[in-house]
Amino acid sequence: MKPEDQQDRIDAYLNGQLADPESFEREMEANPQLQTEMEATRMALDAIHISETARLKHRLQELEAGLRGNQDQPQAKVVSINRRRGKSWYSYVAAAAAILLLAGYFILRPAAQNDAVLAMAAYEPYDNIAFSITKGGSDEVDRADAYIAYERADYPAAEAAFQALSNPSLPDRFYLAQSLLAQQKFAESATLFEELSTMDDFNLHEESEYYAALARLGMGERQRAVSSLERITSDANHASYAEATELLEQL
């Protein structure tokens, strides 16, 4: 069967329009390749939905900003780092874009892209908890620009701004690694995250270990990633225990 015909069947199944879905499901049970292609398509469709919702929200925010008129540009100040994370809609947009990019190519070359798709499907950019965006002034304009770009999910700009810092702190290096991973620069981000994961005095060293495993998976180093994830899940109190457990189940 031609790849495009197979994709038509997958689309029809996911949309509830396939004439004999039971037969298709039996075929998937016997064909792991077909299962993989179907899951990639499902992720892409979910990503489209998330992306469209985020685009509408962004447009509404732009309109609201325009109504408020010209105000001081947001700047930043240093705040303490605590172990907490949430899900900003910017993060969802970045994850959706990565899934769309990789899943589309994955359908054409599933064997080569499987690990990269899994890595980016599991990846969620870590919320900015190092700087608080405020309306006040700041003496650290360059650092503020880096975090503002990161919060806007402008990862190329964030990467450039973090790289330009003359004296980057450990949090700066963590968010530089995040900016790299969000762009699928797996090798560069893996190196940074692995360095940070060895620094016990850094509050996000455990999270860094998990992101390093994601980066290694994205590079195709599955066994190395699995070993890291298994090490994480051996400690139920690890900050990334839940994420690592979920990803291991898919591997």
Q: What is the pLDDT of residues 114-127, one digit of tens each?
A: 788 889 989 999 99
Whole-number pLDDT of residue 106: 47
C-alpha distance from residue 203 to each of 1, 64, 170 (Å): 52, 36, 9
Tokens found for residue 180? 């790299």
* CA nearest neighbour of 133 among 79, 189, 174: 79
Q: What is the pLDDT of residues 127-182, one digit of tens each?
A: 998 877 554 444 478 889 999 999 999 999 999 999 999 999 999 999 999 999 99
**What average pLDDT score do residues 223-241 get?**
96
Tokens found for residue 165? 């810092």
**What average pLDDT score do residues 198-209 get?**
95
Tokens found for residue 214? 């994601």
**What average pLDDT score do residues 84-105 get?**
52
- Dihedral of alpha carbons 211, 216, 218, 223, sign: negative
Contacts of residue 103, defined as CB under 8 A and 6 or more positions apart, other chains included, come to 40, 41, 43, 44, 47, 117
- Identify the residue with better confidence: 230 or 18: 230
CATH code for the part of the protein at 72-87+124-250? 1.25.40.10
**What average pLDDT score do residues 33-50 get?**
73
Whole-number pLDDT of residue 237: 96
pLDDT exceeds 80 at position 103: no
Cβ burial 154-182 (10 Å sphere, 16+ → b, else e): bbebbbebbeebeebebbbbbbbbbbbbb
Q: How far apart are CA 214 and CA 180, in angstroms?
A: 12
Contacts of residue 178, defined as CB under 8 A and 6 or more positions apart, other chains included, come to 125, 126, 150, 189, 211
- Identify the residue with better confidence: 102 or 143: 143
- Identify the residue with better confidence: 247 or 39: 247
- HSE (side-chain half, CA atoms, 13 Å) at 219: 19
pLDDT band at residue 206 under the 50/70/90 scheme? very high
pLDDT band at residue 204 under the 50/70/90 scheme? very high
Whole-number pLDDT of residue 61: 56
Write down the mean pLDDT value for the chain.
79
- Identify the residue with better confidence: 104 or 127: 127
Hey, where are the domains in the chain?
Answer: 72-87+124-250
**What average pLDDT score do residues 221-243 get?**
95
Give the 3-state secondary structure of residue 171: helix
Whole-number pLDDT of residue 100: 55
Judged on CB neighbours under 10 Å (0-12, 13-18, 19+), 206 is buried
Q: What is the pLDDT of residues 62-82, one digit of tens each?
A: 555 555 554 444 444 444 454
Q: Where are the alpha helices (DSSP H) in 165-221?
A: 170-182, 186-197, 205-218
Task: Name the pTM for this structure.
Answer: 0.59
H/E stretch holding 131: strand 131-134
Whole-number pLDDT of residue 6: 78
C-alpha distance from residue 80 to each of 95, 131, 145, 193, 209 (Å): 26, 8, 18, 20, 21
